[in-house]
A = this chain, B = another copy of it.
Amino acid sequence: MRYELYYWPGIQGRGEFVRLVLEDAGADYVDVARERGGMAKMTRALDAGLGALLPFAPPFLRAGALVVAQTANITRFLGERLGLAPRSEAGRLAAATIALTIADLVAEVHDTHHPTTVEEAYETQRPAARARAAAFREHRLPKFTGWLEDTLARNGDVLVGRSVGYADLAAFQVVEGLAYAFPNAMKRRALRIPKLLALRDRIAARPRVAAYLASPRRLPFNDSDIFRRYPELDPA
C-alpha cells in the first residue's frame, strides 16, 4: 500500500505529525504536494473532493479507497494499521484522546502569532499576539506540558500502553516545536517536565526517526509555519 499524504509543501505544519508516523513505521508513502504537479492535484482534491470526503483543509491522506483528514484522525488511522497504537480498545481510546489534546495545543500555539485572523500576516496583529503569547506562556504551555508529564508519570515510559505509538510521536513533535518557538519559556519549564523531555530524546533516537530527521524530507522549522520564533513572543 502506497499512502498519499496531501499537505503544504514548504512547512512541517500539521502534516509533520502524519509524516512522523509514516516514517517511524517505514511505510511507503508519497508527499503529494512536494512532487511535480502535486500542488495542482491537492487543489483539485480540495475543490472537488476525494473519495467519500470533501476535505476542509490539508493534511489529508488517501489509503487506497479510503480518505481521511484531520491530523489526529489521520495519525490514529495510520497508527492502528501500522503497529503504532495500543491493541486494546481502552488503549486505543486513550491514544486518540491524547493525540487530540496535542492537536488542541498545536492550535493554541498557532494562535499566539495569529490571535485575530489567519487572513493577514503576523505583522498586522502584533499587539494582540503579545498578549495571547503571554497568556500562553504563563498558563497554557504549563498546563498542556504538565498534563503530558502527569500522563507519563501515570503510565510509564510512553504516554499510553507499553510501546511507542503515534501519541508519543506527536508529543515529540510538539516538544520540538515548542523548543523552537518558545526556547526561553521551555528552558524555564525543563525541570518540571523531565519525563516528557526524556520521551522526546528516546523518540529522536529511534533509528527510522533519526534517519528521517537527518534527511532532506524533514523540512526545517521556519517562520511561515505553526511554530515560529518571534523573540518578542518569548522574552528571556
Known: A115-B116, A116-B115, A139-B119. A69 touches B97 (CB 8 A): yes
* Interface-side segment among A45-53, A196-204, A211-219: A45-53
A154 is an interface residue with CB less than 8 A from chain B: yes
The contact of A56 among B96, B101, B107, B118, by CB within 8 Å, is B101
Task: Provide the bound-state CA to CA distance between A104 and B52, in Å.
Answer: 20
A100 is an interface residue with CB less than 8 A from chain B: yes
State the copy count for this chain: 2
Shortest C-beta distance, A147 to chain B (Å), equals 5
A160 is an interface residue with CB less than 8 A from chain B: yes
Q: Is the CB of A151 within 8 A of B54?
A: yes
Shortest C-beta distance, A175 to chain B (Å), equals 16
Most buried by B among A107, A116, A132, A151: A116
Q: Is the CB of A90 within 8 A of B139?
A: no
Task: Categorize the interface residue count of chain A.
Answer: 35 or more
Shortest C-beta distance, A70 to chain B (Å), equals 4
Q: Is the CB of A160 within 8 A of B52?
A: yes
Q: Is the CB of A51 within 8 A of B90?
A: yes
Q: Is the CB of B117 within 8 A of A135?
A: yes
* Residue of B with least CB distance to A54: B151
Task: Provide the bound-state CA to CA distance between A51 and B131, in Å.
Answer: 37
Q: Is the CB of A100 within 8 A of B73?
A: yes
* 5 cross-chain CB contacts under 8 A: A67-B94, A73-B93, A104-B107, A116-B128, A116-B132
A66 is an interface residue with CB less than 8 A from chain B: yes
Task: Provide the bound-state CA to CA distance between A144 and B54, in Å.
Answer: 12
* Residue of B with least CB distance to A68: B93
